[in-house]
Amino acid sequence: MKKLALHWQILIGMVGGILFGFLMTQFDWGKDFVGDWIEPIGTIFVNLLKLIAIPLILASLIKGISDLKDIARFKKMGIRTILIYICTTVVAIVIGLGLVNLLKPGVGLPEETKERISAAYSSNEKIAKTQETAAMQEDQGPLQFLVDMVPDNAVSAMSDNSLMLQVIFFALFLGISMLLVGEKSAKPLKDFFDSLNDVVLKMVDLIMLTAPFAVFALLATVVVTAEDPEILLALLKYAGVVVLGLVLMISFYCLIFAVYVKKSPLWFLQQIAPAQLLAFSTSSSAATLPVTMERVEEHMGVEKDVSSFVLPVGATINMDGTSLYQAVAAVFIMQVLWPEGLEFSNQIVIILTALVASIGSAAVPGAGMVMLVIVLKSVNFPDDQLPLALALIFAVDRPLDMLRTTVNVTGDATVASVVAKSLGKFGEPKVKEWDDHFDEVSS
Ligand code: ASP
């Protein structure tokens, strides 16, 4: 019997999880039951993905760089990658700003809705924490991001998933130095990282065997912990604008794929679907990264020296979905609470700060909302209104986070394909299954 494609298995798991979650909300004990018995399955899965993220980046980037025959090519790839990332992010912000100004979701929001939301969320702990984290990031100097990129201890950089850029820096440094010592001296180290890379990709295959069950658990948890459905409905217009923008962004990627990469967008979506579904279920592009890398390399045919650089960098700095969301959310909040601030000059400031903020956002759930505080402060949004501003969008943040993370991951895969195509490094897919060598170890 032909096996059901992975993305269908995951989709079935997701739908099952949502239905199960709704069923559990009908019982008083349902939420606790999901928290005690279902949620841990999702947490273990996300931990497994995070567990292999650093070894995978390290091994594949060092392999990718040390395979290069010429350093000038790397420079070309680096510059192209950063420029294309900036361009797609600007497109996302402009789409977001265009839609929110055109559809004005915040104009005419009933006073009682505002009061209800304020009463429900203004003293919410998570909102207070979001503000604290934003204040910490805001106090930093302009070159802090460069300082943060260079670790003072390689081992401690590798011990913290949020320091991915430091690991990328170390891997690049090591890979380039390996090129410079010449083939003979670099060979033992290169063989080691080649082998580590193959092994870690096999670990991705094994983890993915459990994905349909894990997404069931993740989505059931999201449903039972969701906010009050009536508040969700009151914010439907705002959420609708973000969703419309995200759909336009996916269409934009498909267009780039058809026109520049010259492959069918449907084929692209099919190959990348498992990564998208995981991004949706986990709300974390960092946790999804191993799967994104596996799909782009093995299932789409992007060569490793491109994907191993473009994708980890993209997971940390390229967040088109997040930047689109920040633009829509900032203007929506201003439409509701501070209409006098909606001048043209402020919208230009939003473009610039949303660009920088999305680069600075961590690839973890809810990070976009932290950086939104910085976007709002950049236009001098009144400080005393900030808790209410965040309260306004808090209820729908999780579902929107799931969607924008899906777009973030799709954007990274698109740019990896564009860079690969431009360097003649878009080859044929070579799909590996988890049990390719199983016979050799089973009697
Ligand atoms: N959760 C997003 C990501 O991991 C970031 C955000 O928008 O909050 O890509």
Spatial distance between the Cα atoms of 200 and 205, rounded to a whole number of angstroms: 9
Q: Which of 130, 181, 10 is nearest to 370 (CA)?
A: 130
User: Would you say 166 and 149 are in contact if contact means Cβ atoms under 8 Å apart?
Assistant: yes
Number of independent structural domains in the chain: 1
pLDDT of res. 233: 79
| Structural domain harbouring 56 | 6-428
Kindly state the tokens that stand for 24.
């559990």
How far does the centroid of ligand 1 lie from the alpha carbon of residue 64, in Å?
26
Confidence (pLDDT) at 335 = 94
CA of 283 from ligand 1 middle (Å) equals 6
With a 6 Å cutoff on the Cβ, whether 319 touches ligand 1 is yes
- Cβ of 365 less than 6 Å from ligand 1: yes
Q: Is residue 440 assigned to a domain?
A: no
The Cα 192–Cα 416 span in angstroms is: 25
Q: Which of 126, 283, 311, 318 most suits a substitution to test ligand 1, by most atoms within 8 Å of the C-beta?
A: 283
Give CA–CA dist 428/34, Å, rounded: 43
N-terminal to C-terminal alpha carbon distance within the chain: 24
Q: Which atom of ligand 1 is nearest to the CA of 408?
A: 9
**Within a domain: 294:** yes
370: left (phi over 0), alpha (psi -120 to 50) or beta: alpha
Specify if 438 maps to a domain.
Answer: no
Q: Which residue, judged by its Cα, is nearest atom 6 of ligand 1?
A: 368
Cα–Cα distance, 380 to 369 (Å, whole number): 17
Between CA 146 and CA 168 the distance in angstroms is 13
What sign has the CA pseudo-torsion 336, 340, 344, 349?
A: negative
Dist. CA 365–CA 321, nearest whole Å:
13
> Which pLDDT value is given to residue 443?
67
Distance of CA 94 from the midpoint of ligand 1 (Å)? 19
SS3 content of the chain, % helix, strand, coil (to 5): 80, 0, 20
**Closest Cα partner for 385 from 395, 397, 377?**
377
Amino acid at 151: P
Residues 6 or more apart from 45 whose CB is under 8 A from it? 207, 210, 211, 213, 214, 217, 218
Q: Judge whether 121 lies within some domain.
A: yes
Q: Is the Cβ atom of 405 under 6 angstroms away from ligand 1? A: yes
Q: Is 347 in the pocket of ligand 1 (CB under 6 A)?
A: no
Residue 407 and residue 246 in contact, taking contact as beta carbons nearer than 8 Å: yes
Give phi and psi for 319, each to the nearest 5.
-135, 80
Taking the centre of ligand 1 as the mean of its atom positions, its distance from the CA of residue 26, in whole angstroms, is 30
Residue 435 located in a structural domain: no
**Which atom belonging to ligand 1 lies closest to the Cα atom of 370?**
8
Distance 63 CA to ligand 1 centre (A): 28
Q: Where are the alpha helices (DSSP H) in 122-228?
A: 125-138, 144-149, 154-158, 164-180, 183-209, 211-224
**Residue 320, in any domain of the structure:** yes
Q: How many CB atoms lie within 10 A of CB 433?
A: 11
Residue type, 252: F
Give every CB contact of residue 174 below 8 A, 6+ residues apart in sequence. Answer: 62
Backbone φ, ψ for residue 162 (5° rounding): -80, -5
pLDDT at 2: 65
d(CA 201, CA 154): 23
Which residues have a Cβ under 8 Å from the Cβ of 275 and sit 6 or more positions away? 288, 291, 292, 295, 409, 413
The answer to whether position 434 is within a domain reads no
Whether pTM > 0.85 for this model: the answer is yes
Residue nearest atom 7 of ligand 1, based on CA coordinates: 368
The answer to whether residues 419 and 81 touch, using CB atoms and an 8 Å cutoff, is yes
Strands (E), 339-427: none
Ligand 1 touching residue 404 (CB < 6 A): yes
What pLDDT does residue 1 have?
A: 55
CA dist 60 and 49 (Å) reads: 16
9 lines ligand 1 (CB under 6 A): no
Residue 302, phi then psi, degrees to nearest 5: -75, 135
Minimum CA distance residue for ligand 1 atom 1? 365
- The count of residues in the chain is 443
CATH number of the domain enclosing 80: 1.10.3860.10
Q: What is the pLDDT along the chain (443 residues), one digit of tens a residue?
A: 567 888 999 999 999 999 999 999 999 999 999 999 999 999 999 999 999 999 999 998 998 888 877 788 888 999 999 999 999 999 999 999 999 999 999 998 888 888 888 777 767 777 878 877 777 776 677 777 788 889 999 999 999 888 888 999 999 999 999 989 988 999 999 999 999 999 999 999 999 999 999 999 999 999 999 877 777 777 899 999 999 999 999 999 999 999 999 999 999 999 999 999 999 999 999 999 999 999 999 999 999 889 999 999 999 889 999 999 999 999 999 999 999 989 999 999 999 998 988 887 777 888 888 889 889 999 999 988 888 888 889 889 999 999 999 999 999 999 999 999 999 999 888 888 777 777 888 76
The preferred substitution site among 49, 162, 319 for testing ligand 1, maximizing ligand atoms within 8 Å of CB, is 319
Q: List phi, psi (to 5°) of 301.
A: 95, 15
State which ligand 1 atom lies nearest to the alpha carbon of 283: 1
Q: 178 CA to middle of ligand 1, Å? A: 34
Task: Select from 198, 188, 169, 112 the least CA-distant residue to 317.
Answer: 169
Is 340 within a domain?
Answer: yes
Q: What does the block give as tokens for 203?
A: 């670990």
